[in-house]
C-alpha cells in the first residue's frame, strides 16, 4: 500500500470475541462462527471508505496448539466469506509470541506486538495512510483498549451481541 494516498480512518478489530465467537484458540474454519453483524459491519465500513484491519493475539501458536500456517489459512477463509458479500479486511496482523510460550522461537518477555502493546496497530499505521484522529479500535478485553490508547486511537469495548448494531453510531463516511 502506498503511503501517498490520502489518509482514511481505520477500523481496527480484534478477532476472537469481536468478529467470531471465542470458545478458545480458534484456528480451524470448521470451528469459526461469525459474531452476528460482523460481516455486515466490515462491509458497511468498506462502503464508507474506511480501512479495516484485524489485530489479534494468537498465543496458541507460541503455546504449540497450532501453527502460523493455520492462522494464515483461517484468515484466508475469513476473506473468502467476506468476499461473498463484497466485503474485505485490508490487512491481518497477528502476534504469535507470548511470555510463557512453549516454543522457544515464540517466547518473549514482553512481545511488542502482543496487546496491550500497540505494535500491530503501529505497524498498520506505518504501512497504510491512516487518519489517526478518526480511527477506532474495537476489542472485547481491556488489553485491546490499552493497545489503542498506546497507539493514540480511540478504543471501544464490544460487549458482545450484534457488531453492526454496536458500530452503527460510529459509521461515518471517510
Catalytic residue among 14, 90, 140, 144: 14
- Helices 142-151, 119-127: axis angle to 10 degrees equals 40
Query: What distance in Å separates the CA atoms of residue 163 and residue 8, rounded to the nearest whole number?
Result: 21
Handedness of CA 139, 144, 150, 156 (dihedral sign): positive
Strand order in the sheet with 154-157: 91-95, 51-57, 10-13, 136-139, 154-157
> What are the Cα distances from residue 69, in Å, to 27, 29, 94?
10, 13, 12
Catalytic-residue membership of 140: no
CB-based contacts of 126, cutoff 8 Å, min separation 6: none
Catalytic-residue membership of 69: no
Distance in angstroms between the alpha carbons of the first and the last residue of the chain:
18
Q: Which of 151, 154, 112 is nearest to 11 (CA)?
A: 154
Q: Which residues are catalytic?
A: 14, 16
Amino acid at each position: 500500500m502506498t503511503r501517498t494516498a490520502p489518509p482514511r480512518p481505520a477500523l481496527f478489530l480484534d478477532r476472537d470475541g469481536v468478529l467470531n465467537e471465542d470458545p478458545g484458540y480458534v484456528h480451524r474454519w470448521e470451528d469459526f462462527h461469525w459474531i452476528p453483524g460482523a460481516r455486515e459491519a466490515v462491509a458497511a465500513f468498506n462502503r464508507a471508505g474506511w480501512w479495516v484491519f484485524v489485530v489479534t493475539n494468537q498465543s496458541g501458536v507460541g503455546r504449540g496448539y497450532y501453527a502460523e500456517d493455520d492462522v494464515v489459512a483461517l484468515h484466508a477463509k475469513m476473506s473468502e466469506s467476506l468476499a461473498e458479500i463484497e466485503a474485505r479486511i485490508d490487512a491481518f496482523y497477528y502476534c504469535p509470541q507470548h511470555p510463557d510460550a512453549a516454543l522457544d522461537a515464540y517466547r518473549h518477555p514482553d512481545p511488542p506486538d502482543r496487546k496491550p502493546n500497540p505494535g500491530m496497530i503501529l505497524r498498520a499505521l506505518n504501512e497504510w495512510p491512516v487518519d489517526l484522529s478518526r480511527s477506532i479500535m474495537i476489542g472485547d478485553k481491556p488489553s485491546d483498549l490499552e493497545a489503542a490508547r498506546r497507539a493514540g486511537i480511540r478504543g471501544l469495548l464490544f460487549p458482545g451481541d450484534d457488531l453492526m448494531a454496536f458500530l452503527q453510531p460510529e459509521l461515518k463516511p471517510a
